């Protein structure tokens, strides 16, 4: 029976990766401000002063090689025997960990080797040319790519309130917003060669009959709204996600999906920006939680953040009360730093092709707990105080 339904689910739902589509309310990063714009991003050498440390035991490097590289678990050769039938698992992100602590801490160590190059290990060259002359981007232990995380670490070092994992997790825990992960046709074992998986942005716990949203209980009974930008058809039942992978799988209990998807980030005062990750990978340990439900532990979200889209998205923010509008000194300063940290290509097909880096790698950790899908709602697009500018890049 399990093999039969696989034939019916081979075609994956369309994975839409439109750069910085306007998705509201998934992971709003509140408290994003600095004490003084002049302190925001002093010039540096693109993160070359960062010393990486090895974590993420779920993805231990292969010690058989001189330069071991860390990749997501490979698809298993076969399904484990199961009489559980097809299971549907829905989870909501419960915590976020940017990898460097709320008080600065150590630089981020999350990630996978996205470009299959262990830069700076025994002379390993970078997979693309530096967008800023002289900038270097040594990989973290295991060839992990996370230059974007190192940039966030640099930002956070100037203001403890920047990119605060505890603040983000607190708002997730309160049910203000989340990201839903749904697995369809899971066989309930440690190895399942094909699972259909989808991501949905949520604008929070679904309101009750009085119109008020109850607090999140995190006991498996919470019902989460679904943002209409996450679905193909707002009136479809059941919903069909925009961001899906029909070839996801579970290997030794680790869930793995590949998908291009946007994550909205922002502040309560300035609105949000949207990070559109291409080449995105989501992994996590599926942990039985009783009654046929599961949790995801040791989760990782990794991907590539296009520079042009990043520069456009930044203009939705105000820093210390100053809009980050194209043409301003603050924008120019931020752009210089973004370009210094560009370490990868937007598309993996351009890796090692002699091109100039046009994206930043990014990775962070998460946990997710049982959840229920609610109603599809439409959220108004966020406004920006900046006039629409021309698409920008590091070469302009």
Chain segment 381-395, per-residue pLDDT in tens: 666 778 877 899 999
- Which residues have CB under 8 Å from 196's CB, separation 6+? 9, 12, 13, 183, 184, 185, 244, 245, 246, 248
Tell me what pLDDT residue 158 has.
Answer: 56
**Could you tell me the pTM of the whole model?**
0.79
Tell me what pLDDT residue 132 has.
Answer: 96
The answer as to whether 384 is a domain residue is no
142 in Cβ contact with 302 (< 8 Å) = no
The answer as to whether 43 is a domain residue is yes
Percent of the chain residues topping a pLDDT of 90 = 46
The answer as to whether 393 is a domain residue is no
The answer as to whether 394 is a domain residue is no
Phi, then psi, of 335 in degrees rounded to 5: -60, -45
How far apart are the C-alpha atoms of 305 and 263, rounded to whole Å? 11
Tell me what pLDDT residue 215 has.
Answer: 87
- Which residues have CB under 8 Å from 38's CB, separation 6+? none
List the chain residues with pLDDT less than 50: 1-63, 266-271
Tell me what pLDDT residue 383 has.
Answer: 67
The answer as to whether 388 is a domain residue is no
| Three state DSSP letters for the chain | CHHHHHHHCCCCCCCCCCCCCCCCCCCCCCCCCCCCHHHCCCCCCCCCCCCCCCCCHHHCCCCCCCCCCCCCCCCCCCCCCCCCCCEEEEEEEEEEECCCCCCCCCCCCCCCCCCCCCCCCCCCCCCCECCCCCCCCCCEHHHECCHHHHHHHHHHCCCCCCCCHHHHHHHHHCCCCEEEEEEEEECCCCCEEEEEEEEEEECCECCCCCCCCCCCCCCCCCEEEEEHHHECCCCCCCCCECEEEEEEEEECCEEEEECCEEEEEEECCCEEEEEEEEEEEEEEEEEEEECCEEEEEEEEEEEEEEHHHHHHHHCCCEECCEECCCCCHHHHHHHHHHHHHCCECCCHHHCCCCCECCEEEEEEEEEEEECEEEEEECCCCCCCCCCCCCCCCCCC
Q: Which domain holds residue 140?
A: 2-377
| CA within 13 Å, CB half, 369 | 16
User: The tokens 């209990």 sit on which residue?
Assistant: 253
The answer as to whether 140 is a domain residue is yes
In degrees to the nearest 10, what's the CA dihedral of 184, 186, 192, 197?
20
The answer as to whether 251 is a domain residue is yes
370 in Cβ contact with 339 (< 8 Å) = no
Strands 223-227 and 372-377: parallel
189 in Cβ contact with 292 (< 8 Å) = no
The answer as to whether 73 is a domain residue is yes
Distance set, CA 19 to CA 45, 191, 240, 313 (Å): 28, 34, 20, 9
13 in Cβ contact with 154 (< 8 Å) = no
Tell me what pLDDT residue 18 has.
Answer: 28
Tell me what pLDDT residue 165 has.
Answer: 65
Q: How many domains does the chain contain in total?
A: 1
In the structure encoding, which two tokens stand for residue 200, read together?
A: 């949905």
């Amino acid at each position: 029976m399990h093999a039969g339904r696989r034939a019916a689910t081979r075609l994956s739902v369309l994975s839409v990766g439109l750069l910085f589509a306007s998705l509201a309310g998934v992971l709003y990063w509140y408290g994003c401000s600095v004490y003084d714009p002049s302190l925001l991003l002093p010039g540096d050498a693109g993160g070359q002063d960062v010393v990486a440390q090895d974590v993420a035991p779920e993805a231990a490097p292969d010690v058989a090689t001189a330069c071991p590289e860390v990749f997501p678990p490979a698809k298993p050769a076969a399904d484990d025997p199961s009489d559980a039938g097809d299971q549907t698992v829905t989870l909501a992100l419960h915590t976020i960990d940017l990898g460097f602590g709320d008080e600065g801490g150590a630089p981020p160590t999350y990630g996978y080797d996205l470009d299959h190059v262990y830069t700076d290990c025994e002379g390993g060259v970078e997979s693309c040319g530096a967008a800023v002359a002289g900038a270097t981007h040594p990989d973290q232990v295991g060839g992990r790519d996370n230059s974007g995380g190192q940039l966030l670490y640099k930002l956070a070092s100037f203001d403890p309130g920047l990119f605060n994992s505890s603040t983000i997790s607190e708002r997730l825990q309160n049910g203000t917003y989340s990201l839903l992960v749904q697995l369809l046709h899971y066989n309930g074992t440690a190895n399942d060669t094909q699972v259909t998986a989808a991501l949905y942005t949520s604008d929070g716990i679904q309101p009750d009959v009085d119109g008020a949203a109850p607090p999140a209980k995190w006991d498996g009974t919470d019902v989460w709204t679904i943002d209409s930008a996450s679905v193909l058809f707002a009136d479809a039942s059941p919903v069909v996600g925009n961001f899906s992978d029909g070839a996801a799988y579970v290997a030794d209990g680790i869930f793995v999906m590949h998908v291009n998807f946007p994550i909205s980030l922002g502040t309560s005062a300035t609105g949000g920006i949207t990070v559109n990750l291409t080449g995105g990978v989501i992994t996590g340990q599926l942990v039985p939680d009783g009654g046929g439900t599961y949790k995801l532990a040791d989760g990782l979200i990794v991907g590539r953040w296009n520079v042009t889209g990043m520069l456009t998205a930044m203009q939705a923010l105000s820093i210390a009360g100053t809009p980050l509008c194209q043409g301003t000194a603050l924008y120019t300063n931020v752009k210089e730093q973004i370009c210094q940290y560009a370490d990868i290509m937007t598309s993996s097909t351009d890796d090692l092709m002699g091109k100039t880096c046009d994206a930043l790698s990014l990775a962070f950790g998460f946990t997710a707990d049982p959840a229920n899908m609610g109603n599809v709602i439409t959220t108004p697009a966020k406004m920006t105080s900046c006039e629409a500018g021309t698409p920008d890049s590091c070469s302009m």
